[in-house]
């Protein structure tokens, strides 16, 4: 994420910056912890900022976004919990946009009629996402056989998933962040029970693949967004990223890259970083095109329209890519 923002800043600076000013990216590490998020946000605004991209974790964002906004900043947030809607703008999908895609995939692509949900209920995003998925499934007439709460940080969840697996659901839906999703995928494989597995958007991170290993990671489909290389015309951007950082971009690099650039365009349009002027400029952006596709914002929430939610598989090379069979089944196009 940080490197995506830095790549965008380098592009802007090569073109003369924003209104003739050099763009500097200042890292703020909230450790995905709400209490840390408050303290680092307070320190950051005290040091002086003109704009904010982030945070990513919704629980942390619930604490830090109001601090940035109270300081007169307009965040380009990376959170997905609906509770953060209206707190700035975002290029990422929100729970209310993710859950319908996942529910449709479970019903019309996986053809599941019974589902067990495993959720990390200690986190804002995952708790709300599990509730949204459950509602979406029930509305489609799909039986939710169980909802199992887990606590993050365990080395195994074999005991926790044994009970829902005993009910023989058609599909198990894992609503956790990536460390727990990787462990659960391994536990499912070790159980020897043949059950379709889908990991929710919260687990969509290259860390899921690293932690689980490619073979285990491939046993679950993952709800997310297109990978950096899935976007049309992305070759030059990937080359620039690799040339600059000597590594490949991850799934969220394009989102911070585009967030910095769309903020820059809004500042140019507003000729200001004033919150009122910048909010108006962002609200009026329509059809802006970047690495992640075209962007417009919903006026009352700051949510992106349309939101690029996809079902993804893990390749033999250990990369995410849009699952072509899902795309064909639902008619998804970029």
The hierarchical CATH code for the domain 2-93+233-302 is 3.40.50.2300
Helix axes 95-104, 124-139, angle to 10 degrees: 40
Superfamily of domain 108-224+309-330: Response regulator (3.40.50.2300)
What's the rounded Cα separation, in Å, for the pair 282 and 314? 35
| pLDDT exceeds 80 at position 181 | yes
First-to-last alpha carbon distance for the chain, in angstroms, is 22
Helices and strands counted in the chain (H then E) = 13, 13
pLDDT band at 332 (very low <50, low <70, confident <90, very high): confident
DSSP track, 36-66: HHHHHHHHHHHH--S-EE---SHHHHHHHHH
φ and ψ at residue 10, rounded to 5 degrees: -60, -40
Whether 2-93+233-302 and 108-224+309-330 share one fold: the answer is yes
What share of the chain in percent tops pLDDT 70? 100
- Tell me: the pLDDT tens digits for 124-177? 899 999 999 999 999 999 999 999 999 999 999 999 999 999 999 999 999 999
Q: 185-200, pLDDT tens digit by residue?
A: 999 999 999 999 999 9
Which sequence spans correspond to the domains of the chain? Answer: 2-93+233-302, 108-224+309-330
* pLDDT recorded at residue 117: 98
Task: Extract the tokens encoding 177.
Answer: 């962040």
In 3D, which of 327, 244, 300, 233 has the Cα closest to residue 86? 300
């Amino acid at each position: 994420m940080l490197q995506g923002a830095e790549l965008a800043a380098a592009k802007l600076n090569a073109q003369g910056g924003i209104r003739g000013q050099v763009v500097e990216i200042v890292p703020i590490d909230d450790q995905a912890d709400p209490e840390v998020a408050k303290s680092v946000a307070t320190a950051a605004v005290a040091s002086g900022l003109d704009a904010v991209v982030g945070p990513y974790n919704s629980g942390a964002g619930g604490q830090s976004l109001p601090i940035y906004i109270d300081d007169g900043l307009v965040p380009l947030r990376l959170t997905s919990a609906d509770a953060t809607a209206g707190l700035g703008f975002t290029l990422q999908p929100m729970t209310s946009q993710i859950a319908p895609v996942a529910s449709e995939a479970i019903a019309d692509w996986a053809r599941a009629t019974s589902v067990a949900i495993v959720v990390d209920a200690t986190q804002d995003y995952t708790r709300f996402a599990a509730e949204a998925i459950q509602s979406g499934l029930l509305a489609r007439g799909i039986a939710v056989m169980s909802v199992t709460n887990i606590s993050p940080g365990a080395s195994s969840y074999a005991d926790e998933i044994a009970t829902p697996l005993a009910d023989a659901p058609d599909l198990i839906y894992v609503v956790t962040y990536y460390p727990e999703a990787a462990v659960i995928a391994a536990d499912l494989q070790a159980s020897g029970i043949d059950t379709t597995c889908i990991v929710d958007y919260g687990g969509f991170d290259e860390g899921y693949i690293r932690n689980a290993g490619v073979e285990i990671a491939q046993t679950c489909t993952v709800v997310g967004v297109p990978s950096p290389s899935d976007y049309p015309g992305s070759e030059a951007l990937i080359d620039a990223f690799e040339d600059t950082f000597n590594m490949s971009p991850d799934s969220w690099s394009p989102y911070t890259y585009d967030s910095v650039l769309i903020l820059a365009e809004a500042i140019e349009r507003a000729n200001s970083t004033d919150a009122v002027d910048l909010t108006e400029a962002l609200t009026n952006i329509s059809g802006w095109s970047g690495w992640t596709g075209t962007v417009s914002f919903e006026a009352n929430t700051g949510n992106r329209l349309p939101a690029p939610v996809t079902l993804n598989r893990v390749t033999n090379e250990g990369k995410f890519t849009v699952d072509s069979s899902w795309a064909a089944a639902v008619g998804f196009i970029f």
